[in-house]
Chain A
Amino acid sequence: MRGRFDKQLEQLNDMLLDMGAHIEKAIAMAKQALLERDIELAKKVSKLEDDIDQKEKDIEGLCMKLLLQQQPVARDLRLISAALKMLTDMERIGDQASDIAEIVAESTPVLTQPQFAEMADAVIKMVMQSVEAFVKKDLQMAKDVIKYDDVVDGLFESVKVELIELIRADATSGEQALDLLMVAKYFERIGDHAVNIAKWARYSIAGRKKSEPKNSAG
């Protein structure tokens, strides 16, 4: 009876997974560029961000079409409205991966932070699982992502403490330290966006928005 609509919803899921794969790739490229000081690779992240922006527009278009044509209710309405909200977070993640790459491309490569590899891996995992939780309607996975954000927050705190120490020891490294703090902050924000995605996944699956301590990305 609603075969076409179900196919369109499958298409929406596929498009979200595809966009998710692209933002994971953008974070991974930013990480590699950062760790290996690969400026050429850093510049490619910006190109990838354009693709991500285009995918956002395509998905948004499909959601608007589904709202118009199907006038969805109940789980369909939750799924489509959650997809629209998630999209914004996914697009922001692409922006932040690109921002990290931009710092790599423009700053003088002297210092790095040992936590960056771990932070990047952690947020890649969170992004991947948050989108997967939405598509597979896996409530537990969504909850796991929300909880895992503590790990990223902990890493950010440790970077911050080390950078304060660095500036205290050598005031001339202030500019570099600020760049590094920005990088750490972008990773931490990516984690927050992944949490937002996981919360929308949870809403789509379970239907209730739980009020939790504010941890949303803006």
Chain B
Amino acid sequence: MTAFEINNVNLFYSDFQALHDVNLKVNKHEITAFIGPSGCGKSTLLRALNRMNDLIDGCRVEGEVLLNGVDIYKEMDVNVLRKRVGMVFQKPNPFPMSVYDNIAYGPRVHGIKSKPQLNEIVERCLRDAAIWDEVKDRLKKSALSLSGGQQQRLCIARSLAVQPDVLLMDEPTSALDPISTAKIEELVIQLKKQYTVVIVTHNMQQATRISDNTGFFLMGEMIEYGKTSDIFSVPSDKRTEDYITGRFG
């Protein structure tokens, strides 16, 4: 089953072409990793999946990005898209409000006012993000008082609160220590039972540990896309091999 189908996508920032004819399918309930050197277009593609690039002046997308068969650029309201496709960033960005309100924010915006229902959502999301036990006694405390790793899991919980289909993660552990990183990785593996995950990472070992499929990008092109176990043991393109073995990049 395919979540995203990306067909012949070219993406331009004004005159600069950041993506060249990208084609790939993101499978449901799998973790797909995008790897490649800085500036290769992997984060651009990730952001194209929930139209984050719309905010950038001069950004233009050609081709089609289908989410469950629906073109997200032509046939879907951007607010609906963002509800179905959540995003977690490199640096944890909790809202400057309580732990509880961080999670309840999205559901409230989408019209849920009932306190018991919000309580249920907050607990479920915090449990799903494997942070409930650590914060259940300080739900009213500021989210900014949490550690970096806790803040990142809170942000994941927040993105789960609107029950998305897909979670996009842009280097979600690059600012975290190894323990927090391990917790997030465990969490991501758990999350794929319910969600589809697309992750951009600079950490090769992370890609091998958690992802099912990996796409390697170079200068805006997708060079190779396949099973992670194949990409990291027997890559078929020499440029993939050279990059992952540290011969350039």
CB<8 Å pairs between A and B, sample of 13: A2-B247, A5-B246, A71-B205, A73-B204, A73-B233, A73-B245, A74-B233, A74-B234, A75-B241, A75-B245, A77-B233, A78-B234, A207-B233
Asked if A1 and B233 make an inter-chain contact with CB atoms under 8 angstroms apart, the answer reads no
Quick one: which of A54-73 are within 8 Å of B by CB?
A: 71-73
Known A-B contacts A5-B246, A75-B245; the reply to A207 vs B232 at CB < 8 A is no
A6 and chain B: residue at smallest CB distance: B247
Question: Majority SS of interface residues in chain B?
Answer: helix
Determine which of B204, B208, B233, B248 lies in contact with A78 in the assembled complex, contact meaning CB atoms within 8 Å. Answer: B233
Quick one: which of A1-16 are within 8 Å of B by CB?
A: 1-2, 5
Asked if B205 and A1 make an inter-chain contact with CB atoms under 8 angstroms apart, the answer reads no
A118 to B101, CA, bound (A): 83
Q: Does A85 contact B (CB under 8 A)?
A: no
Cβ of B204: which chain A residues have Cβ within 8 Å of it?
71, 73
Known A-B contacts A71-B205, A73-B204, A74-B241; the reply to A1 vs B232 at CB < 8 A is no
How many residue pairs between the two chains, A and B, have CB atoms under 8 Å in the bound complex? 34
B234 and chain A: residue at smallest CB distance: A207
Cβ of A74: which chain B residues have Cβ within 8 Å of it?
232-235, 240-241, 244-245
Asked if A72 and B234 make an inter-chain contact with CB atoms under 8 angstroms apart, the answer reads no
A173 to B245, CA, bound (A): 60
Q: Scoring A residues 91 to 123 as 1 if CB is less than 8 Å from chain B, else 0, what string do you get?
A: 000000000000000000000000000000000
Cβ of B248: which chain A residues have Cβ within 8 Å of it?
1
Cβ of A2: which chain B residues have Cβ within 8 Å of it?
245-247
Asked if A77 and B232 make an inter-chain contact with CB atoms under 8 angstroms apart, the answer reads yes
Cβ of A71: which chain B residues have Cβ within 8 Å of it?
204-205
How distant is B36 from chain A, measured CB to nearest CB, in Å?
14
Asked if B245 and A72 make an inter-chain contact with CB atoms under 8 angstroms apart, the answer reads yes
Quick one: which of A194-218 are within 8 Å of B by CB?
A: 207-208
What's the tally of chain A residues with a CB closer than 8 Å to chain B? 13
Asked if A73 and B244 make an inter-chain contact with CB atoms under 8 angstroms apart, the answer reads yes
Determine which of A5, A73, A75, A207 lies in contact with B208 in the assembled complex, contact meaning CB atoms within 8 Å. Answer: A73
A2 to B246, CA, bound (A): 7
How distant is B113 from chain A, measured CB to nearest CB, in Å?
50
- List the 7 closest pairs (A to B, CB-CB), nearest first: A207-B234, A73-B232, A2-B246, A73-B244, A74-B241, A74-B245, A76-B245
A199 to B244, CA, bound (A): 25
Q: Scoring B residues 216 to 249 as 1 if CB is less than 8 Å from chain A, else 0, what string do you get?
A: 0000000000000000111100001100111110
Cβ of B233: which chain A residues have Cβ within 8 Å of it?
73-74, 77-78, 207
A2 to B245, CA, bound (A): 9
A75 to B248, CA, bound (A): 15
Cβ of A207: which chain B residues have Cβ within 8 Å of it?
233-234
A76 to B235, CA, bound (A): 12
Known A-B contacts A74-B235, A207-B233, A208-B234; the reply to A1 vs B247 at CB < 8 A is yes
A71 and chain B: residue at smallest CB distance: B205
A126 to B245, CA, bound (A): 31
A77 to B204, CA, bound (A): 13
Q: Scoring B residues 200 to 220 as 1 if CB is less than 8 Å from chain A, else 0, what string do you get?
A: 000011001000000000000
How distant is A76 from chain B, measured CB to nearest CB, in Å?
5
A1 to B248, CA, bound (A): 8
Cβ of A1: which chain B residues have Cβ within 8 Å of it?
246-248
A5 and chain B: residue at smallest CB distance: B246
Cβ of B241: which chain A residues have Cβ within 8 Å of it?
74-75
Q: A73-B232, A207-B233 are in contact. List 15 more A-B contacts (CB 8 A).
A: A1-B246, A1-B247, A2-B245, A2-B246, A2-B247, A5-B246, A71-B204, A71-B205, A74-B233, A74-B235, A74-B244, A74-B245, A76-B245, A207-B234, A208-B234
How distant is A91 from chain B, measured CB to nearest CB, in Å?
25
Cβ of A76: which chain B residues have Cβ within 8 Å of it?
245
